[in-house]
Chains A and B, each alone.
Chain A
Amino acid sequence: MAVASIQVSETPLVLYALRRADDALILGHRLSEWCGHAPMLEEDMALANMGLDLLGQARELYSYAAKVEGKGNDEDKFAYLRDIRQYRNLLLLEQPNGDFAHTMVRQLFYAGFADLYWRAMMKSGDATLAAIAAKSEKESAYHLRHSSEWMVRLGDGTEESHARAQAAIDDLWAYTGEMFAIDDSERDLIDGSVAVDPASLHPQWLKTVSDIVGEATLALPKSDWMQQGGRSGRHSEHLGHLLSELQSMQRTFPGATW
C-alpha cells in the first residue's frame, strides 16, 4: 500500500534548511551505497563514516526545518514522505557513484564547497544554523582532506587512474555551478545575515580545487556552462531511483518503526 506524500509550507527559512538537509541526506545515501563494495576495506569504512557524518547533519537540519515550519512534520517525514519534486538537493550530489574516481571527484567538488560554506555559516545570525555549522565544518574539513589525497593518488597514479579521474572531472564539472547560485527566497536571508552568499565563496573554492587538481596533474575544464534545477525540484533521472530505495520501507509499511 502506498502512502501519501506530506505537504510542506516552504517559507524561505524552511526551504533553506530543507535544501541543505537534502544535500546531506542524498550525498550521505550515495556514500552508503559503497558499503561492502569499496575497492578496499579502509575505503569501505571511510565512505560509510562520511555518509554517517552527513546523515547526522541531515537530521539536525530536518529537525530544525520541522521546528521552524511548526506543522507537525519531523525529520523522518521529510526524508521518507516527500516526492522527488519536493527534494531540493544539488544535482551534483544525486549523480550516481560511477567508478571510484567519480565518487572522489564529487567528494572533492562538494567537500571543497561545504568546508568553506559551513565555516562562513558559523557567523549566521540564526543560532541553530550557526551551531549546526560549527559541527559540520569540522567534518567537512576531514572529508576534503580525504578526497584531496585520493585526487593526487588517482591523477598522479597510473595511466588508467589518471584517465578515469580526468573523465570524472569532465563529467561532473557542469554540476558545480549550482552550489554558488541563489534565488529570491535566499536573497532576503542573505540580506538578513541568516545565510551567506555562496557566490562570495567561489574564488576560494576555485583556488582550492584548482590547486589540488593541479597537484594531481589533472586539469579543470574550460567550459563555464552550468546545469541547474535541483534547488527548485527539477532533478535528473537518478534521484527517483535513489528515493525508491531510500523510501521503500516507509512507502511499503507506513509508520513502521524499529
Chain B
Amino acid sequence: MVTALHKDAELRQRAWNAAAEVVDPEIPVLTIADLGVLRDVTVTDGRVEVAITPTYSGCPAMNMIRVEIELALEREGFRNLEVRTVLSPAWTTDWMSDDGRRKLREYGIAPPLASSSRRALFGVEQVACPQCGSGNTEVLSEFGSTSCKALWRCKSCREPFDYFKCH
C-alpha cells in the first residue's frame, strides 16, 4: 500500500511535468502551466486525470490543448488517462505566472493588468507598449486576433501590438 501510494505520487509528478510542457497553440511562448489553464493532475491506481479550465467559454484552443495533453502523456508512457474541463473557480488572468507575464512581453504581447480594472464600463486602462515601454498608447479594437486579446497601438513608436485582456 505504502509503495503504491509512493508510486502514484511519483507518477503524478511525471504526469504533471509532461502536461505542464504543453503550450497554448495561439501563444506558443506560454505553457498551459504559465497560463493557469492546467489546474490539477491526479493519479489513482495508475490512472491519470488532468483538469484544465478554459480561458474564455468559447475558446477554440481548448480542443487542441486537450489533444496535446493526451499526446504528451502518451509519450511519457501513460495509457489510462482522462482530460476533463472544470469551470469553477473561473479562470482569471491573475493566475498567470510572473514568468508567463515576462515571456508574453518579450513575445510582443502586453501582459494583462490586474483584473480589478475590468469592471470599468468605459475603457480606462493604461497599457504599456511591449516594444518600447511607452505608456502613450491607444486601443484600436477591444477584440483582437483571439478571444483573450485586444488590439492596441503605441503612439510613441507607432507599432501596433496585442494586449492580453484582463479577465
Chain A residues at the B interface, C-beta cutoff of 8 Å? 42-43, 45-46, 49-57, 59-60, 127-128, 130-132, 134-136, 138-139, 141-142, 144-146, 148-149, 212
Contacts and interface: CB of A to CB of B under 8 A. Distances in A.
Contacts of B92: 138
Given A57-B58, A138-B92, 15 more contacts: A45-B141, A45-B143, A46-B142, A49-B147, A52-B60, A56-B54, A56-B56, A128-B87, A131-B88, A134-B88, A135-B57, A141-B119, A145-B122, A149-B123, A212-B121
A246 to B, nearest CB: 16
The 6 closest A-B pairs by CB, nearest first: A56-B57, A56-B58, A42-B141, A131-B88, A52-B58, A46-B143
B74 to A, nearest CB: 22
Given A42-B143, A138-B167, A132 B58 contact: no
Q: Which of B58, B86, B92 has the most CB of A within 10 A?
A: B58
Given A57-B58, A136-B57, A148 B121 contact: yes
Q: Which of A57, A128, A131, A136 has the most CB of B within 10 A?
A: A131
Contacts of B157: none
Given A131-B88, A132-B87, A134-B90, A56 B142 contact: no
B88 A53 contact: no
Given A144-B121, A145-B120, A149-B123, A135 B54 contact: yes
Interface of B: 54, 56-60, 86-92, 118-123, 140-145, 147, 151, 165, 167
Contact of B58 (A43, A54, A134, A149): A54
Given A56-B56, A139-B57, A142-B165, A50 B123 contact: no
Contact of B141 (A46, A60, A135): A46
Nearest to A145: B121
A56 B145 CA distance: 17
B58 to A, nearest CB: 3
A134 B86 CA distance: 12
Contacts of A142: 118, 142, 165
A229 B163 CA distance: 42
Contact of A60 (B57, B89, B118): B57
Given A60-B87, A134-B87, A138-B90, A146 B57 contact: no
A49 B59 CA distance: 9
26 contacts: A45-B143, A46-B143, A49-B143, A49-B147, A51-B58, A52-B58, A53-B57, A54-B58, A56-B54, A56-B56, A57-B58, A60-B57, A131-B86, A131-B87, A131-B88, A132-B87, A134-B88, A134-B89, A135-B56, A135-B91, A139-B57, A142-B142, A142-B165, A145-B121, A145-B123, A145-B142
Contacts, number: 85
B90 to A, nearest CB: 4
B51 to A, nearest CB: 13
A122 to B, nearest CB: 9
Contact of B151 (A42, A59, A149): A42
A130 B89 CA distance: 10
Contacts of B122: 145, 148-149
Contacts of A51: 58
A21 B7 CA distance: 44
Contacts of B151: 42, 45
Nearest to A132: B87
Contact of A131 (B90, B120, B142): B90
Contacts of A146: 142-143
A53 B58 contact: yes
Contacts of A135: 54, 56-57, 87, 90-91
A244 B147 CA distance: 28
A138 B141 CA distance: 18
Contacts of B120: 145
